[in-house]
Chains A and B, each alone.
Chain A
Amino acid sequence: MSHHKIKNIFIQGAIHPSFIMESIQKHSTKTDIGAHNIFLGQIRGDEKDGHQVTAINYTAYEEMALQKMTEIREDIFAKYPLTCLHVYHSLGLVPTGEICLFVFTSAAHRKEAIDACEELVERIKSELPIWGEEIFDNGTQTWKINK
């Protein structure tokens, strides 16, 4: 089946709202869909010691991340009756206020779309080998820790 192939999820830099809009638009021909759920991760301008986060620089063990994502995708499709799911994650520098993660699930009904999306986001954050380094306005950097 097509969703069992290894798909690239990485986008260089921020994920533009126009990309998200186009992605929604593409689903209008799939008339068995009754519900979409979208999660968007945005870079937060956290403050630490009087300095603000201006960007996060993402790096990944790409091959492992894509392999793991394929496994997660298969698990989610097996667990929920979804029509489709899409995942995009930034690599490289993403400025504060911009989008770095886009998770999009579609199903006939809302509950499976919402539950699948939530589970996907949790698994992406805990299982994909991706690292974010916060860049501050004074040029210092710290490695982000997922809560």
Chain B
Amino acid sequence: MKIKILLFGQLKEKLDAGFIEIESMEDSDLLLAKLKSEFPVLSDISFRIAVDKILIAEKVVLSEKSEVALLPPFSGG
């Protein structure tokens, strides 16, 4: 099962895509490790992870319905 990961800001530009799809993982820590191994550029840019539109502060269990997004530092206003 694949999971869709939304990209924003600098990450959208670096990966030249609005989203990426990778094999779904059980939780956010495993997903992050997999993302960093498949997309080495993610180790060069700081970002936080949102699951279902909420920033996560610790490991979160994922389902195939989870909406995951990678968010570089905000710069609104």
Residues of A within 8 A of B (CB): 41, 58-61, 63-65, 67-68, 89, 100-101, 121, 124-133, 143-146
Contacts and interface: CB of A to CB of B under 8 A. Distances in A.
Interface in B23-77: 50, 53-54, 69, 71-77
Interface residues of B, number: 16
A133 B8 CA distance: 12
Given A131-B8, A131-B10, A143-B9, A101 B53 contact: no
B74 A130 contact: yes
B75 A126 contact: no
B6 interface: yes
A100 B77 contact: yes
Given A64-B69, A126-B74, 14 more contacts: A61-B6, A61-B71, A89-B77, A128-B74, A129-B50, A130-B74, A130-B75, A131-B10, A131-B75, A133-B9, A143-B9, A145-B73, A146-B74, A146-B76
B24 to A, nearest CB: 21
Contacts of B77: 41, 89, 100-101, 121, 124-125, 130, 146
Chief secondary structure at chain A's binding surface = mixed
Contacts of A127: 74
6 contacts: A41-B77, A59-B12, A61-B53, A126-B74, A129-B71, A145-B73
A143 B45 CA distance: 12
The CB with the most chain A CB atoms within 10 A, among B10, B53, B71, is that of B53
Given A59-B9, A61-B8, A128 B76 contact: yes
Nearest to B70: A61
